[in-house]
Amino acid sequence: GERLLSGTVVVAGVAEMECSASAAESFQGKLQAAVEDARSSRSEMEELVNRFAEIYTPIVVLLSLLLALWSSNLTRGLTVLVSACPCAVVAAAPVVQSCAFVRLLSDLQVLVKDARALDSFAQVSRLGTDKTGTLTKGSFELHGVVVMPGQLEKTDLLKLLAALESQDSHPLANSLVRSYVGCAAEFDQGAPQLPKVDRFTRVESQGVWGIVEGQVVGAGSKRFLDSMAIDLPIEAEEQVKKWEQE
């Protein structure tokens, strides 16, 4: 069987799972530990400020004490101590870092594992990322339909496909349904109604088929069509190759 991470969502079907790790060793536990480690890490600027404070603060305290003893005026010594204390400088770096971590994680869902990464990021000139879920939303849209000559009209084809795919939970199925009924169809009484689907069958990782308005309708991959003994016209194969090259 495949290994599942904690927080996995089963979109379709049933999954039997066996727990193989404690909560602390799970994906969510490790993610929480990574967040805590990131918040406790220090950037180069914060380390520099801390080293400066380790030297500067004792000197200021000593000078303030000497001034108070030499002038016999405690108020003067406290004035020098308060005005020269580097609290604002020392506190600025960790406060800015914490605000950046909270902003990135809560609003942008970006986890920075080490504070030094923020310093290094300022020097980045090129960035490579995983596209889906990072630069895109992971939702599909139907951008074009090519109907072979002598076949159904485009509207009728979309109606049959939307009816068939409305029985499936695959992300691609949702895009085909939206292409015909629209995203707000369930709230609009005037939205087109989908015909009934009989004998709906889902072939795992290949496609789906069913009977819609007395016609056998199928949608799936090339392997699915081959398993159904369906030969694509030459024009359709050429169109598929054209899409694959884009």
Read off the pLDDT of residues 154-189 as tens digits, 9 standing for 90 and up: 788 888 888 888 888 777 778 788 777 765 444 444
Pairing of strands 215-220, 197-203: unpaired
pLDDT single digits (tens) 53-76: 778 778 888 888 888 888 888 888
Q: Are 86 and 24 in contact (CB under 8 A)?
A: no
Cα(144)–Cα(81) distance, rounded to whole angstroms?
72
pLDDT digit string, tens, across residues 114-157: 777 777 777 888 877 776 666 666 677 777 777 777 677 878 88
How far are the Cα atoms of 108, 110, 117, 120, 127 from residue 124, in angstroms, in the given order?
Answer: 19, 17, 10, 7, 7
Task: Report DSSP letters for 189-241, one per residue.
Answer: TTSPPPPPEEEEEEETTTEEEEEETTEEEEEE-HHHHHHTT-PPPHHHHHHHH
Contacts 24+ apart (CB under 8 A), 222-228: 227/203
Q: What is the model's pTM? A: 0.44
